[in-house]
Amino acid sequence: MADFKIPGITVYRLGLYVRALERFLAEGRELISSEELARECGVNSAQLRKDLSYFGQFGVRGVGYSVPQLLKHIRRILGTDREWHMILAGVGHLGQALLNYELLAKRGFKFVAAFDIDEKKIGRVVNDVYVYSLEQLPYVLREHQVDIGVITTPASAAQEVADRFIEVGIKGILNFAPVRIQHPPDVVVEHSDITILFDKLAFYVHRLD
């Protein structure tokens, strides 16, 4: 079963740590203190140490963390040290933006197929990814091993798409439609809400004056 004891916000911060460590590595840094890494991520260092303590003992007191080792550890914890195969339903603007987003593939998240219900989109190829009719989902799943289903449909279609994804055995769903998805407990659904970023920016701009 899923390790749901780890809070979602901790996992989100692991993602922040990975990206900060990647930047430090690119600068040729070998060692980093928890204070510096925390500051780079906008969290405090006690929080950073607590987040990492869920997963074992890292770093050496008074010395800090080895940048490449901690990066490797966190990637292994996240499961991003391997490739993930994904499909996407809803080839609108956001869907096409994701299919074209090279950074995702660079991070090991690869789209193997896309789906739509619009006849004008079915049969098109977006960044080497073929757009199938949603009816062809079971067929595609026989041809490809798929880990993650991404939903970029309008809100009204999201639950039906999720139901179909779950029916064919997909265990991870990332939902960009602004609606909560109902799902069985052995399926993981993450909801993306881009509007929170605008709230966060508003907060800081609001306080500039």
What does the alpha-carbon distance between residue 170 and residue 145 come to, in Å, rounded to a whole number? 9
Our CB check for its own copies shows the closer of 61 and 106 to be: 106
- Which region among 56-64, 71-79, 113-121, 131-139 touches its own copies (by CB under 8 A)? 71-79
Q: How would you class 177 by CB atoms within 10 Å of its CB: exposed for 0-12, middle for 13-18, buried for 19 or more?
A: buried
Based on the number of CB atoms within 10 Å of its own CB, is 152 exposed (0-12), middle (13-18) or buried (19 or more)?
A: buried
Residue 93 phi, psi dihedral angles, 5° rounding: -60, -50
Q: Is 158 in the site for its own copies (CB under 8 A)?
A: no
Q: Which of 101, 117, 134, 157 binds its own copies (CB under 8 A)?
A: 101
- The one-letter code for the residue type at 2 is A
Residue from 8, 28, 56, 62 in contact with its own copies (CB under 8 A): 8
Give the footprint of its own copies on residues 37-66 (CB under 8 A). 42-44, 47
Residue among 25, 31, 77, 117 that touches its own copies (CB under 8 A): 77
The span from the CA of 148 to the CA of 161, in Å, is 13
Quote the strand ranges of 71-128, DSSP E. Answer: 84-89, 109-116, 125-126
- The SS3 call for residue 13 is helix
Q: Please, which residue, 63 or 209, has the CB nearer to its own copies?
A: 209
Q: Of residues 46, 60, 125, 202, which one binds its own copies by CB under 8 A?
A: 202
Q: Is 188 in the site for its own copies (CB under 8 A)?
A: yes
Q: Give the count of residues interacting with its own copies (CB under 8 A).
A: 66
Residue 27 contacts its own copies per CB under 8 A: no
Q: Any idea which residue has 């911060």 for tokens?
A: 13
CB 95 within 8 A of CB 88: yes
**Whole-angstrom Cα distance, residue 140 to residue 112?**
9
The closest alpha carbon to 129, from 157, 89, 166, belongs to 89
Task: Using the rule CB under 8 A, give the single segment among 28-36, 97-105, 132-140, 157-165 that binds its own copies.
Answer: 97-105
Please tell me whether residue 14 binds its own copies under the rule CB under 8 A.
Answer: yes
Residues that bind its own copies (CB under 8 A): 1-4, 6-9, 11-16, 18-19, 23, 42-44, 47, 77-80, 84, 92-94, 96-98, 100-101, 103-104, 107, 109, 147-148, 171-174, 178, 180, 186, 188, 190, 192-208
